Amino acid sequence: MSNDHAHLRSALEAAGVDVADVERRLGGLEVETPSWGYGAAGTRFAVFPGPGTARDIWEKVDDAAEVHRLTGTAPAVAMHFPWDAVPDYDALRAYVTERGLRVGAVNPNLFQDPDYRLGSVCNPDARVRDKAVAHLVECIEIATALGSTAQSLWFADGTNYAGQDDLRARRHRLRESLERAYAVLPDAQEMLVEYKFFEPAFYSTDLPDWGTALLTCLALGDRARVLVDLGHHAQGVNVEQIVALLADEGRLGGFHFNNRKYADDDLVVGSVNPFELFLIFCELADGDLPRLTIDQAHCIEPTVEAMVLSVTNIQEAYAKALIVDRDALATARADGDVLGAHRVMLDAFGTDVRPLCAHVRTARGAAADPLSQLRSSGYVARNAEARAEGAATGLGAR
């Protein structure tokens, strides 16, 4: 692999790429992995716990630490409440720190309680809205205890039938509810507002697109920014353009990585459309990276392997974005050379950057080939023996 890296480095330098800067920026990449991605998730039909699947937040943290050890790029674990609730948050924070991690974004759950059948913060019943806001405030307090700096908000609120509710009234309820939570948000935390064009609501969704989310954030304040989820768009939507627009406005707060074939499939990022992932990173690489989080529900794949593969796919997409010949691209654009500009992008995308990523990982004390090292380490086998079949936690758990 070292010879492969030397050959790639020489080729990139000959093409005018500042390889040292690329390696520096790639070495600074940080991705949050999600606690819920280490538990057994499921479909609407069944949950299939696999051998060694994490059974609680402590084991999820252990798995997250192993992913970070192997990849060198996943130092934070995002958490979901009440899925990850514990009696003592000081103890949980200490455990996370002992494992060489920190707590990433806190995600309130406002979509599984029976009271939320007709919505949470948009519910026509003021009692239910008060309950939802109380949970938002509770999660702000949990985040403070855990040292988290962000609230990551996704709402399942919407309607299934025309006439079911007043659409304008729902918008006002949404804003009023979030204003109540934002008013108690500490200076150290920000509010990330996510959107999704459908599901579980089928007629209308209260936060259906980036524009609605942006308007909501603008009404709340400077510490409210939009969170983009790769799986939350209709077919054919140009997600990288959304990223560019929000970043240009200073309102891109974060990105949830996964992949989709039809709807919000939560597949391993880069498994369906790696070119789209590359193009998104081409936009992200133009400035400071926002909060990057993997948001996947692993239904049939081994959870730790799936997370390692997701992180390495992100590393490679970012590396390819960093080696784009920006000068050649600018020249082609200025000359109106449509295909010339496109070929610059294709040249970077077609480059095998695995030796470069391996070199950066080993320089950080991580694994040259994380997935192979995971499989040969015995980590999964030991967990299978200690944890048996695991348990359904988070999505799919009933």
- Whether the predicted pLDDT of 394 surpasses 90: no
pLDDT in the model for residue 193 = 98
Q: Which of 298, 234, 302 is nearest to 267 (CA)?
A: 298
Question: Is 347 domain-assigned?
Answer: no
Question: Is 10 domain-assigned?
Answer: yes
Give the span between the Cα atoms of 66 and 37, in whole angstroms: 14
91 Cβ neighbours under 8 A, 6+ residues apart: none
Q: Tell me the pTM.
A: 0.95
Question: Is 383 domain-assigned?
Answer: yes
Q: CB atoms < 10 A from the CB of 332, how many?
A: 19
Question: Is 124 domain-assigned?
Answer: yes
For the chain, give the mean pLDDT.
Answer: 95
pLDDT in tens, 136-155: 999 999 999 999 999 999 99
Give the span between the Cα atoms of 151 and 8, in whole angstroms: 41
Q: Both tokens of residue 62?
A: 């252990």
Neighbour-count burial of 331, counting CB atoms closer than 10 A to its CB (0-12 exposed, 13-18 middle, 19+ buried): middle
Q: For residue 65, how many C-alpha atoms fall within 13 Å in the half-sphere facing its CB? A: 16
pLDDT in tens, 81-134: 999 999 999 999 999 999 999 999 999 999 999 999 999 999 999 999 999 999
Question: Is 313 domain-assigned?
Answer: yes
Q: How many domains does the chain have?
A: 1
The residue segments making up the domain with residue 277 are: 2-322+353-387
pLDDT in the model for residue 396 = 54
How far, CA to CA in Å, does 20 sit from each of 12, 241, 350, 361?
Answer: 11, 29, 20, 14
Give the CATH number for residue 227: 3.20.20.150
pLDDT in tens, 212-271: 999 999 999 999 999 999 999 999 999 999 999 999 999 999 999 999 999 999 999 999
Give the span between the Cα atoms of 351 and 360, in whole angstroms: 16
Question: Is 208 domain-assigned?
Answer: yes
Q: Decide: 37 and 299 in contact? Cβ < 8 Å.
A: no
Question: Is 344 domain-assigned?
Answer: no
Q: Decide: 206 and 170 in contact? Cβ < 8 Å.
A: yes
Question: Is 330 domain-assigned?
Answer: no
**Residue 76: strand pairing partners:** 32, 102
